[in-house]
Amino acid sequence: MLCSEDVSFKPKEHPAKDGSLVDPTATRRYSLVWSYEYLNLISAGKTEFFECLKIKPRLNEGGPRNSIKCQNGIYFITIDLTKFTFIRANLDPQNLANVEIAHGSCKLIGS
């Protein structure tokens, strides 16, 4: 899949004078290669490896259906396999400057 982020941001440590709570960050483009339990994110000649599971909603949740969640240390990606949309998050409790959220969409290639 070829993926592009539509929005990417980091939360600010303190609200700005204008009331804003987030700082935009540069959006990224990358390739995702998914093989059931594993996902490779390829960007700028580097590959990041993730382990994946199908998302199984609890009884009291409405969704998501037909989606996967992938994790690599403090990095997370969830992908809707029907719409090919995704959310990417960096969640580092030891370094709050390394907290970031992005979302976007993917296109299938080679099929």
* Amino acid in the structure at residue 42: I
Q: pLDDT at position 96, please? A: 79
pLDDT tens digit string along 46-102? 999 999 999 887 766 666 788 999 999 999 999 999 999 999 999 988 887 889 999
Planar angle of CA 2, 77, 30, nearest 5 degrees: 25
- Specify the pTM: 0.85
Q: CA 10, CA 101: separation in Å to the nearest integer?
A: 7
Contact 50, 35 (CB under 8 A): no
Distances (CA, A) of 31 to 41, 67, 75, 101: 6, 18, 16, 18
